[in-house]
Amino acid sequence: MPPTLLFFFFFPLLSSAQLNHTSFSLSFPLTSLPLPTNTASNMLRDSLIVYTNRTRNTTRLVSPSSPYNYRLTFNYSMALIVNLPIGTPPQVQPMVLDTGSQLSWIQCHKKPPRLPPPTASFDPSRSSTFSNLPCTHPVCKPRIPDFTLPTSCDQNRLCHYSYFYADGTYAEGNLVREKFTFSRSLFTPPLILGCATESTDPRGILGMNRGRLSFASQSKITKFSYCVPTRETRPGSTPTGSFYLGHNPNSLRFRFIPMLTFAQSQRMPNLDPLAYTVALQGIRIGGRKLNISPAVFRADAGGSGQTMVDSGSEFTYLVNEAYDKVRAEVVRTVGPRMKKDYVYGGIADMCFDGNAIEIGRMIGDMVFEFEKGVEIVIPKEGVLASVEGGVHCVGIGNSDKLGAASNIIGNFHQQNLWVEFDLANRRVGFGAADCSRLAP
């Protein structure tokens, strides 16, 4: 897998979650860079912002104003890494913010005495609130509703899991319960998550889809939002955006579209019923509306063609019919400049060796159209992604080559954009912003 191609989402097989909601509002720094190999204690920097209000001996989050500071420095990647304090006392863990998967999991390794860990992994022996799930727990039963994770009993009668993603990465370990501890008076209840002892990624996953075991559902949040910073390739740059759980003070200017939800009886083999599915209606390039039927962007009788908003995928992916129309328009405008016989990551073949700014101007702005006049506008300066060796590609891949049969709006096309997932009202909101300037 090429180093910049990140594609984190998991396709469950059964019905969508029944969400319960309470007021829960936090603000995190969100950074599009991966972790260096040093300990979490050396990386505490910037800010997570919360207010607490005690009513009847309970803690309620009401306003993102009082600082609780931490921030990490990363090497460059297009994964969105939020660093969360887990356990009691808290240990800061880097996690990929992924709206396309359900299970949250962290790296779990007991640290040898006097030796630093190879990565920022979680040490269960240091947390007083950590517990393992036994095999008898209902979640460990195979194919329970909304959660089709392969589980088994290990030699200690603990619940073992294996989790595989569409890009071929995986994680396995035990299912456990643990708190996210933001301060002495502010923490989640124990949540079910994975404690990975084997994985192909040095970071964990913050599962944020609509499944009942996602972080969003277990924490009973009503909404969450993030603002992806502009992608940077300059040495030493650390683009940082913002991530809110709960109320976002910027949301009054967001424009919303409804989520498409699916009945439990609609068990279509190619459908992900737990994804944040929206009705994309069309695509414009350089002011030219492409001749693509809106039906291409909706699930057909077998579930193929749904359009998902996914923070865990770097590029946007389109099914054959839509991808071919986009490619034809790019060929029409800049065909002679394209890099011949070059395919990035096996999925993107609209690539160039020449001046990216000049080529972007020739292609023009790209626009994803939704209902009620809501649009995602990708300015011509941001149409091309730098991939490797001076090569730049249009940030769109062919999802059929991945075997996904879905349209996926990735984080590359969410740059400088607030994206809010309003779970209570089943809608997705967008708001243009300079995300790098908004971060604390």
Please enumerate in sequence order all residues whose Cβ is within 8 A of that of 398, keeping only pairs 6 or more positions apart, or say none. Answer: 317, 318, 319, 320, 323, 347, 348, 349
Are 95 and 30 in contact, with CB atoms under 8 Å apart? no
Question: How much is the mean pLDDT over the chain?
Answer: 79
Residues pairing with 91 in the sheet: 86
pLDDT at 235: 56
pLDDT at 236: 59
> What is the enclosing helix (H) or strand (E) of 159?
strand 159-164
Which of 328, 438, 393 is CA-nearest to residue 31? 438
Half-sphere exposure of 107 (CA within 13 A, CB side): 23
Q: What is the rounded distance in angstroms from the CA atom of residue 109 to the CA atom of residue 111?
A: 6
Which of 77, 90, 79 is CA-nearest to residue 40? 90
Half-sphere exposure of 392 (CA within 13 A, CB side): 16
Q: What angle do CA 33, 66, 89 make, to 5 degrees?
A: 65
pLDDT at 18: 30
> What is the enclosing helix (H) or strand (E) of 396?
strand 396-398
Which of 411, 408, 427, 420 is CA-nearest to residue 378? 411
Half-sphere exposure of 244 (CA within 13 A, CB side): 29
Please enumerate in sequence order all residues whose Cβ is within 8 A of that of 10, keeping only pairs 6 or more positions apart, or say none. Answer: 100, 101, 102, 103, 163, 164, 165, 166
Residue 297 per-residue DSSP state: G
* Alpha helices for 280-420 (secondary structure H): 320-334, 356-363
Which of 351, 362, 346, 439 is CA-nearest to residue 401? 346
Q: Which sign does the torsion angle of CA 27, 31, 34, 37 carry?
A: negative
* All structural domains of the chain: 26-249 (2.40.70.10), 252-438 (2.40.70.10)
Residue 275 per-residue DSSP state: S
pLDDT at 287: 95
CA distances in angstroms from 402 to 36, 166, 407, listed in the order given: 29, 8, 11
Q: What angle do CA 369, 370, 374 make, to 5 degrees?
A: 90
Q: What is the rounded distance in angstroms from the CA atom of residue 83 to the CA atom of residue 169?
A: 21
- Whether residue 3 has a cis bond before it, omega within 30° of 0: no
Q: Which residue numbers are catalytic?
A: 98, 310
pLDDT at 83: 86
- Whether residue 89 has a cis bond before it, omega within 30° of 0: yes
**Coil vs helix vs strand at 201:** coil
- Whether pTM > 0.85 for this model: the answer is no
Are 100 and 210 in contact, with CB atoms under 8 Å apart? no
Which of 203, 188, 178 is CA-nearest to residue 26? 188
pLDDT at 237: 65
What is the full per-residue pLDDT of the chain (440 aa) written as tens digits? Answer: 333 344 444 433 222 333 333 334 455 555 444 333 333 333 322 323 332 333 333 333 333 332 222 232 222 357 888 888 999 999 999 899 999 999 999 999 865 555 554 457 899 999 999 999 999 888 887 655 555 677 888 888 999 988 877 667 788 899 999 998 877 777 788 999 999 988 888 889 999 999 989 999 998 888 999 988 887 656 556 688 888 888 888 889 999 999 998 876 667 888 899 999 999 999 999 999 999 999 999 999 889 999 999 999 999 999 999 999 999 999 999 999 999 999 998 888 999 998 999 999 999 999 999 998 999 999 999 999 999 888 999 999 999 888 888 999 999 999 999 999 999 999 999 999 988 776 55
